[in-house]
Amino acid sequence: MATIASLSFSAIGKSERKRNVLSTPALASNIEGFRARANFSCQYIGVRASNSTSRLVVHCMSTASVSDLPTVSETKLNFLQAYKRPIPSIYNTVLQELLVQQHLMRYKRTYRYDPVFALGFVTVYDQLMEGYPSDEDRDAIFQAYIKALKEDPEQYRIDAQKLEDWARAQTASSLVEFSSRDGEVEGNIKGYCRKSWE
């Protein structure tokens, strides 16, 4: 699907100039009700002069392809369908904000699940929900939250526990030698650090 748009702006000056404009990188939109990944490129800019005013004309072309990425509202709906009981507002407000932020991260083109992120999220979630009246409900909310993002809640818990256990077993000397050690957890942490520096 291709769309061509022209924009006009009032401009000062009476000469006509044209120049090429660099294409913008791919833009992704995840506005509720509108799902598209688009590339925009401006063909030219020209200033058209007349006796009374000048007009700046920009011709842009976009190519958009419909994507199957869920919208924020669909992720929220998935959560509400998975956990149907009311959540006290003091918890619900924060959970909904976290869900929106994690949705935006989750559906970025560059997103890759990693255990270090899982540990971070599990830690935040457990601290946030520490005073929740029911342990069973707290776990059910966690399950609904992660499944709404189309990820595996058990994987989050398993990876977070592995990293916690590994961290508890470390000594000062083992941390000094960390860069030369191999292992699953060490590989995950090194991979996360490399990704953060890129």
pLDDT (tens digit per residue) in 24-48: 444 444 444 444 444 444 444 455 5
CA separation for the pair 72, 111 (Å, rounded): 16
pLDDT-based confidence at residue 55 (cuts at 50, 70, 90): low
Which comes out higher in pLDDT, residue 195 or 42?
195
Instruction: Tell whether 24 and 6 lie within a shared domain.
Output: yes
User: What's the number of domains the chain is made of?
Assistant: 2
Instruction: Tell whether 176 and 90 lie within a shared domain.
Output: yes
Instruction: Tell whether 42 and 79 lie within a shared domain.
Output: no
Instruction: Tell whether 81 and 157 lie within a shared domain.
Output: yes
CA separation for the pair 21, 174 (Å, rounded): 54
Instruction: Tell whether 88 and 12 lie within a shared domain.
Output: no
Which comes out higher in pLDDT, residue 36 or 155?
155
Residue 61 structural domain: 2-65
Instruction: Tell whether 101 and 86 lie within a shared domain.
Output: yes
Instruction: Tell whether 39 and 78 lie within a shared domain.
Output: no
pLDDT of residue 99: 97
Instruction: Tell whether 32 and 113 lie within a shared domain.
Output: no
Alpha carbon 182 to chain centroid, angstroms: 31
Beta-bridge partners for 98 = none
* Average pLDDT, integer, range 116-142: 95
**pLDDT over 70 at 10, yes or no:** no
Phi, psi of 170 (to 5 degrees): -80, 150
Which region among 39-43, 45-49, 65-69, 82-86 has the lowest average model confidence (pLDDT)? 39-43
Instruction: Tell whether 157 and 130 lie within a shared domain.
Output: yes
Instruction: Tell whether 59 and 98 lie within a shared domain.
Output: no
Arithmetic mean of pLDDT over the chain: 75
Position of tokens 């000397």?
173
